Structure 1
């Protein structure tokens, strides 16, 4: 049970199966100058949490991943790349937020969201939560939304732009559909047949069931291809990208990353794996859309913090649709 000085957090000390994650009591962090302390009400268990916990990274990225997440043991024992909650305290110099503010935040590779409290920089990827959503709903805007915003900032999408989203039913995919539609794009969603109704409800104009059809097999081309699965390298999809178009590698292996610049120069088609550094402005834009009913929260399942192992087990199946939410405190 949390006291005035301690909090409950989901911690893992070794890489491996979901069972490596367990609850511990830890000291509540104190915000440093320029930081805010968030009392976390909800976070998500994402594919990134799965990859980090299991050290399940794309081919060739093992050494690079070790530098970030740890070689023999996790560098950051508390997972969770996002948080929605209420500011409990602010450090010196913070003027944009005050105790009691409802906020959403992206911690990225710093993690820390799977705990009752987390400190984040006040000038980082944090913004006020939408007024029209619960905090459990609001947290679903963060992981997929900020990722897509980072990639979309590198391309031109407007009315009539054709966008294909590979892996359309995941957290990133459902965000990509919605944000592309807001820009006026014509969206093709690649997913399994069971998810067709979901992606159509989010705005997809066309659905390709990958279990029945290879989206690269026909003559159709797209201005932008978003690969959220990792099975659409440039060699496979080059002919499916329109002249001057782009391939956004949300998931890619080392070979794809190393070859991307040369492929871009040779083909005249942008190939990028770099998400950039989207921050508070990107999050605030999604909040604005949510508050006027133009962006939906997509929740597959919700789990209590005490059921963190079950949440990881479900994400490990690879079948989640949208977001798996972790409820950490009562709103």
Structure 2
């Protein structure tokens, strides 16, 4: 089978098209013919190994010292079940499925084997493989954080870094809860954000959201680049600050005393669950959220796709097609 292999840590050029053996499903696993995957910022971070200094040694030991142990990257996929292992009863041959690979990675290939118990679900009717592949990672991360905020109708929600895979779902989830949503990203993404429901948009290059006097019930910082103290000061007295991708400095500041009063600061990492994907399924089927696809690259052009994502220009999701 064809696969794009990460030969070592480095720029996108370390990704090479190779022929690998087609995997065989073990007990309780399913073999998936991959039709589409995506390139996320997380994929680029693993490939380049651009992590904070204090995390580099433990992450090298975990992911691999000289190159990734799981040398076929890719965290989310859509495709068809081609075979099932013994004892696997959740899916059958021919099912159209999508899901997240977790730390097994492996979506940048023609075939993928995963336990049936992973965050995998049958695709909603009417969704293309390219659209479905964009939902698992961004959708489950957005759902994880916004559930902690328990957004109520009429509240004001700010999403920082709203134009990516997590942010585009977060905007829609917050809007579905009845919130007034303000989305922050670069100018090129603002029209797209309005099209998926944002009530207000801010170009971070032209306007400092911490200086305009607005306050919010919930602030969700997807990018993890907002100034901590100033952002906390933009919360209402009982507001909630969701730190989606905090730096080490932000995590440390979170533990220090501040003038936050009853404000809550929440960080964490989403645990991918099939039940959450099925919940997103219903929202997709009801038209309450929609996938945002920017560009589609063939598997052979994965290097170009990684370059594009690292440029920061992507609007929503970049899809890799195995057709």
Q: TM-score of the superposition, structure 2-length normalised?
A: 0.94
More moved, 222-231 vs 296-305: 222-231
Matches of 1:263 and 1:28 in 2, distance apart?
A: 54
**Correspondence for 2:168 among 158, 170, 174:** 174
Which residue is 1:164 aligned to? 158
Q: 2: distance between equivalents of 1:58 and 1:299?
A: 30
Q: Deviations over 1:258-316 (max 9, x none)?
A: 44345699743332331231311111111111112221111111000111111111112
Per-residue deviation at 1:67? Answer: 3.5
Match for residue 231 of structure 1?
Answer: 225
Q: Are the aligned partners of 1:149 and 1:278 in contact in 2 as well (CA < 8 Å)?
A: no
Q: 1:58 to 1:78 in 2, by over 3 A?
A: same
Choose from 130, 140, 143 the match for 2:134. Answer: 140
Contact 2:232 2:260 in 1 (8 A): no
- CA gap of 1:303–1:270, structure 2 versus 1, over 3 A, is same
Residues 29-38 or 131-140, more deviating: 29-38
**Cα shift readout 1:53-74 (whole Å, capped 9, x = no counterpart):** 1112246432343233222221
Which residue matches 1:3? none
For 1:115, the equivalent position in structure 2 comes to: 109
Give a deviation string over 1:184-218, Cα, whole Å, max 9, x none.
12110011222221000100011111111111112
Q: Find out whether 1:49 has 2:43 as its counterpart.
A: yes
State the alpha-carbon separation in 1 of the partners of residues 263 and 272 from structure 2: 23
After the TM superposition, which residues 24-173 of structure 1 pair with which residues of structure 2 at under 5 Å, given as runs?
24-58=18-52, 60-173=54-167
Mapped partners of 1:10, 1:253: distance in 2: 30
Tell me how far 1:250 sits from its aligned partner: 1.6
Coordinate RMSD, CA, aligned: 1.8
- What 5-or-longer segments of structure 1 have no aligned partner? 1-6
Contact 1:167 1:227 (C-alpha < 8 Å) held by counterparts:
yes
The range that moved more, 156-165 or 251-260, is 251-260
Secondary structure in 2 matching 1:245: strand
Task: Write the distance in 2 (CA, Å) between the matches of 1:102 and 1:261.
Answer: 45
Aligned partners of 1:286, 1:139: CA distance in 2, in Å?
A: 13
> How many equivalent residue pairs?
323
Aligned to 1:4: none
CA distance in 1, matches of 2:268, 2:258: 13
CA contact (8 A) 1:234 1:247 kept: no
Q: Equivalents in 2 of 1:310, 1:83: separation in Å?
A: 19
Aligned to 1:202: 196
5+ long unaligned stretches in structure 2: none
CA distance in 1, matches of 2:258, 2:129: 41
